[in-house]
Structure 1
Amino acid sequence: MFSDADVAALYDLLNPWNPDRRSEDRFYFPLVMSSESVLDVGCGTGAMLKLARERGHRGRLVGLDPDRAALDRARRRTDVEWVEGTAADARRGADFELATMTGHAFQNLLTDDELRTSLTAIHGALRPGGRFAFETRHPQVRAWEEWTPANPNDVVDLVDGAGRAVRYWHDVDAVVGDVVAIRGTVAKPDGAVLRVLRESLRFLDVATLNAFLVEAGFEIQAQYGDWDRGQITDDSREIITIACRM
């Protein structure tokens, strides 16, 4: 068996939160540490908020995620508030200074209605002048074409928390419009499959993304094409956005 709890633990191994070593974490962490109240939408196992508390954040930290197994892992730290729910469940009038959506979680918002509902909720959870920081992969580089076991950089071998040697890789099942359906396979080193994880991701271009943000009442404060805050160019892999509640 490879349980939901095992999947949550594997996520932490594959995506260690470390602003001292990872450029994407280094981008977000100062924003979190300088904000007195933070809502992390799609917080997963809560690594970012837990580290913020460990490093001295004294304000309100709230993690929101629909994955119960991930939240069970997050709730091992009790001085952060953990809420089970989707982005659309963000509480109106909560008066947060900052909302974040890291790890490309924004791409899990697949339909126009889901985007509108989620952005409206996040907007409503922020105080006037509050900021929403998130990233989405730029569709122009077609990142999904690299998600294949034929790409050695997409195959990860590791030992999980239970001491099991496992291998993890992706396959793309379908590309329909701007939505890509993928499979993540957890297997033994000999290829025997332990668990298959399915996910769909939406790839929005800059103009489409910004139209949704403006419609929800946000003003685009800044957008970057890389984690060093470079401008968006024809070969940028990311659309990193800081939007402000009007």
Structure 2
Amino acid sequence: MADLLFSDSYLAAVYDLWHPRAVRDDFDFYLPRIMQADAVLDVGCGTGMMLAEARDAGHEGRLCGLDPGAGMIALARRRADVEWIESDLPGAGFDREFELAVMTGHAFQTLVSDEGIDETLASLHRALVPGGCFAFETRNPAVRAWENWHPRNATEIAGPNGGAVRIETRITVPFDGNTLGFVHDFTGEDDALPLASESRLRFLDMEALAARLFRAGFSADEVYGDWDGSKLLPTSPEIIVIAVAS
């Protein structure tokens, strides 16, 4: 079940305003790789901004966006020149169809169970041609980014209808060494508000990631700690992996 942030059409529109292209350093990292691959799968594609940008930049091959969030996919489908599928990855049934799969926006962390991670990695391996790449990121748990997820760090944006939207994040289930739970509270001037979206995320370190990738038939060929391509350090905010399918 997708979080309300992704399934609700109003909150899906808020998402892109909250995370505009100008601050998406992950796009700058992934797009050159997308442009070099003939067939690309974006798992957890959201409103489709990244694949739309790739098409606008001249990508002429297959671009497929996959997301279980109805609100997100509805917005993505405004672009008819990209293939959009409302589904989770195991349900899509891809078979050796893509040279590259990407999973951005920390979507990998929504796989909270061991079984969910392993099933998704197995489905990714089936979706890729031999030698294909899976590129994704997860927050480095050593940095404990969630300690800043507090209402005092709320942000305010102009919403889809022009009115102010205030977004507060609060932890509801403390980190237990694997996962934590939190809520985004959306308040403001729009008639659709207030709304609250509950979520849960998984945090894995590089050692655990590498082990699960290996069992699924991947090798972690490239690992970075930030979007500038710097190496992974204990203080790096991200764990960015380019994994190759055997």
Count of residues in correspondence between the two structures: 238
Tell me the residue number matched to 1:99: 101
Give, in angstroms, the shift of residue 22 of structure 1.
3.7
Which amino acid in the other structure matches residue 216 of structure 1?
Answer: A
Matches within 5 A, 1:204-219: 204-219=204-219
Give, in angstroms, the shift of residue 217 of structure 1.
0.2
CA deviations 1:104-135 (Å, max 9, x no partner) are 00000010100010000011000001000000
Aligned equivalent of 2:13, options 9, 30, 43: 9
Q: Does 1:130 align with 2:139?
A: no
| In 1: Cα distance, 2:37 partner to 2:81 partner | 17
Tell me the residue number matched to 2:61: 59
Moved more, 58-67 or 89-98: 89-98
CA deviations 1:28-74 (Å, max 9, x no partner) are 11011111110000001111001111111100000010001110000
Matches within 5 A, 1:70-219: 70-151=72-153, 155-175=154-174, 176-188=176-188, 194-219=194-219
| In 1: Cα distance, 2:76 partner to 2:91 partner | 18
Structure 1 contact 61–80 (Cα < 8 Å) conserved: yes
| In 2: Cα distance, 1:5 partner to 1:194 partner | 14
Give, in angstroms, the shift of residue 97 of structure 1.
0.5
Q: What's the secondary structure of 1:222's corresponding residue?
A: strand
Matches within 5 A, 1:14-33: 14-18=18-22, 22-33=24-35
Give, in angstroms, the shift of residue 95 of structure 1.
2.0
Give, in angstroms, the shift of residue 157 of structure 1.
1.0
Give, in angstroms, the shift of residue 90 of structure 1.
4.2
CA RMSD of aligned residues (A): 1.7
Q: What's the secondary structure of 2:116's corresponding residue?
A: helix
Tell me the residue number matched to 1:44: 46
CA deviations 1:171-226 (Å, max 9, x no partner) are 0111233101010010127xxx6100111000001111111100000011100011
Which amino acid in the other structure matches residue 56 of structure 2?
Answer: E
| In 2: Cα distance, 1:242 partner to 1:24 partner | 13
Identical aligned pairs, as a percentage?
45
Give the TM-score, by structure 1 length.
0.92
Runs of 4+ in 1 over 3 A off after TM superposition: none
| In 2: Cα distance, 1:92 partner to 1:10 partner | 30
Q: What's the secondary structure of 1:30's corresponding residue?
A: helix
Give, in angstroms, the shift of residue 92 of structure 1.
3.4
Q: Does 1:238 align with 2:242?
A: no
Moved more, 43-52 or 9-18: 9-18
Structure 1 contact 90–125 (Cα < 8 Å) conserved: no
Q: What's the secondary structure of 1:150's corresponding residue?
A: helix
| In 1: Cα distance, 2:8 partner to 2:161 partner | 13
| In 2: Cα distance, 1:174 partner to 1:89 partner | 29
Which amino acid in the other structure matches residue 183 of structure 1?
Answer: V
- List gaps (5 residues or longer) in structure 2: none
Structure 1 contact 90–122 (Cα < 8 Å) conserved: no
